[in-house]
Amino acid sequence: MRLVGLIGGMSAESTAYYYQTFNRLVREQLGGLHSARVLIWSVDFAPIAELQAQGDWDGAGAILADIAVRLEAAGAEAILIGANTMHLVAERVAAAVKVPLIHIGDATAGALEAIGARRPLLLGTRFTMEMGFYRDRLAARGIDALIPDEADRARLHAIIYDELCQGVISPASKVEVLAMIGKASGADAVIFACTEIGLLLSPQDLALPVVDTAIVHAQAGVDFSLA
């Protein structure tokens, strides 16, 4: 089993979800007392979130690239960034190390292709929904991601940062997000493109098929580890 390195803490809530998922997937595949071989470097998210808000992606990228180098030096044979938004700096992180970076967008595209989805509704932070780094990567695979309207994007962003990243799971917010999904015309799937959304919603809540990016990204890490 190869050792993978996870850059986590963005947020701590979803990093715990990643860790649980890594171990569940390994146990399902190997059985018994097997668990994942994973190194986790968990950042203090507050300074990273401030850099995001300021648009200082160079500063945020430098921090994550340095962490990737340290994980590689500690023996990690692949790197995962445990957040959708911070894949905006994925190229810089990948360039800092010799081991592969397992990209969440590629894992998501593969999962969408597997279910035949071509017009999924993309739910995430405003950065992920509005900036090209994520949607363009899906478009390169023939996937035309839809996003909520302006007001819903702002509200969803607030729910993610003010609630989910801080461990607050609100039934009222769940109703709001389900309403956003219900307004999406022509969508053939839903992407939980923020690694915290799976803490608020379940695929069983929706009629459309769901790709939970935290799960498919963790699966890609486990596939690499067990290959």
Q: Are 90 and 16 in contact (CB under 8 A)?
A: no
Q: Are 201 and 123 in contact (CB under 8 A)?
A: no
pLDDT at 128: 96
Banded pLDDT at 4 (limits 50, 70, 90): very high
Predicted confidence (pLDDT) per residue in 6-44, tens digit: 999 999 999 999 999 999 999 999 999 999 999 999 999
pLDDT at 1: 97
CA–CA separation, 223 and 227 (whole Å): 6
pLDDT at 27: 97
Q: Could you tell me the residue ranges of all domains in the chain?
A: 4-103+215-226, 104-212
Q: What is the DSSP letter of 8?
A: E
pLDDT at 34: 98
In this structure, the dihedral spanned by the alpha carbons of residues 19, 58, 151 and 191, taken in order and rounded to 10 degrees, is: -40
SS3 43: coil
Burial of 221 (0-12, 13-18, 19+ CB in 10 A): buried
Q: What angle do CA 172, 83, 122 make, to 5 degrees?
A: 60
Predicted confidence (pLDDT) per residue in 156-201, tens digit: 999 999 999 999 999 999 999 999 999 988 999 999 999 999 999 9
What is the three-state SS of 144-186? CCECCCHHHHHHHHHHHHHCHHHCCCCHHHHHHHHHHHHCCCC
Q: What φ, ψ does residue 145 adopt, rounded to 5°?
A: -80, 135
The domain over range 4-103+215-226 is classified in CATH as 3.40.50.1860: yes
The correct CATH number of 104-212 out of 3.30.2350.10, 3.40.50.1860, 3.30.70.20, 3.40.50.2300 is: 3.40.50.1860
Q: What is the DSSP string of 105-151?
A: HHHHHHHHHHTT-SSEEEES-HHHHHSHHHHHHHHTTT---B---HH
pTM over 0.85: yes
The residues with which 38 forms a beta bridge, in sequence order, are 4
pLDDT at 152: 97
Contacts of 184 (CB under 8 A, 6+ apart): 121, 146, 148, 190
Rounded to the nearest integer, the mean pLDDT of the chain is: 97
Amino acid at 40: I
Topology alike, domains 4-103+215-226 and 104-212: yes
> From the CB of residue 206, how many other CB atoms can be counted at a distance below 10 Å?
16
Q: How many CA atoms lie within 13 A of 14 on its CB side?
A: 32
Q: Residue 222 has which token pair?
A: 């486990």
